Amino acid sequence: MDIKQPIKRQSLADIETQAARVAAMMGHIRAAMLPPTAKKSPPTLSALQLAQLCNVDKAKIAYRMTRGDLPAGTMQGNRREWTMSAAQQWARELRSSHMRPAGAAGITITVSNFKGGVAKTTTAVTLAQGLSMRGHKVLLVDLDPQGSATTLFGVLPDAEVDHEHTAMPLFTGEHDDLSYAVRPSYWPGIDLVCAAPLLFGAEFALPARQTRDAGFEFWRCLDRGLDQARSDFDVIIIDTPPSLSYVTINALMAADGVILPLPPSALDFASSAQFWDLFSDLCNQLIRSRGQDKSFEFIDVLLSRVEANDAASSVVRQWVLEGYGDKVLPIEIPKTSVTATASAEFGTVYDLPRGSMNARTFARARDAYDRMCELVEQQIEAVWANQVESLGG
Q: Does 248 bind ligand ATP (CB under 6 A)?
A: no
120 touches ligand ATP (CB under 6 A):
yes
Interface with ligand ATP (CB under 6 A), residue from 88, 110, 148, 166: 148
Q: Counting contacts by CB under 6 A, is residue 101 touching ligand ATP?
A: no
Contact of residue 367 among Mg ion, ligand ATP, none (CB under 5-8 Å per partner type): none
Q: Is 336 in the site for Mg ion (CB under 5 A)?
A: no
Determine, following the binding rule CB under 5 A, whether residue 137 of this chain makes contact with Mg ion: no
| Contact pick of 46, 148, 245, 336 for Mg ion (by CB under 5 A) | 148
265 binds ligand ATP (CB under 6 A): no
Distance in Å, CB of 193 to ligand ATP, minimum:
16
Per CB under 6 A, 121 contacts ligand ATP: yes
Task: Point out which span in 41-49, 144-152, 186-194, 214-222 binds Mg ion (CB under 5 A).
Answer: 144-152
352 binds ligand ATP (CB under 6 A): no
Residues 282-341 that bind ligand ATP (CB under 6 A): 305, 333, 335-336, 339
Binding of ligand ATP by 131 (CB under 6 A): no
Residue 123 sits in the site that holds Mg ion (CB under 5 A): no
Q: What is the 3-state secondary structure (H, E, C) of the chain?
A: CCCCCCCCCCCHHHHHHHHHHHHHHHHHHHHHHCCCCCCCCCCCEEHHHHHHHHCCCHHHHHHHHCCCCCCCCEEECCEEEECHHHHHHHHHHHCHHHCCCCCCCCEEEEECCCCCCCCHHHHHHHHHHHHHHCCCCEEEEECCCCCHHHHHCCCCHHHHCCHHHCCHHHHHCCCCCHHHHCEECCCCCEEEECCCHHHHHHHHHHHHHHHHCCCCCHHHHHHHHCHHHHHHCCEEEEECCCCCCHHHHHHHHCCCEEEEEECCCHHHHHHHHHHHHHHHHHHHHHCHHHCCCCCCCEEEEEEEEECCCCHHHHHHHHHHHHHHHHHEEEEEEECCCCCCCCCHHHCCCCCCCCCCCCHHHHHHHHHHHHHHHHHHHHHHHHHHHHHHHHHHC
Q: Is residue 305 a contact residue for Mg ion (CB under 5 A)?
A: no
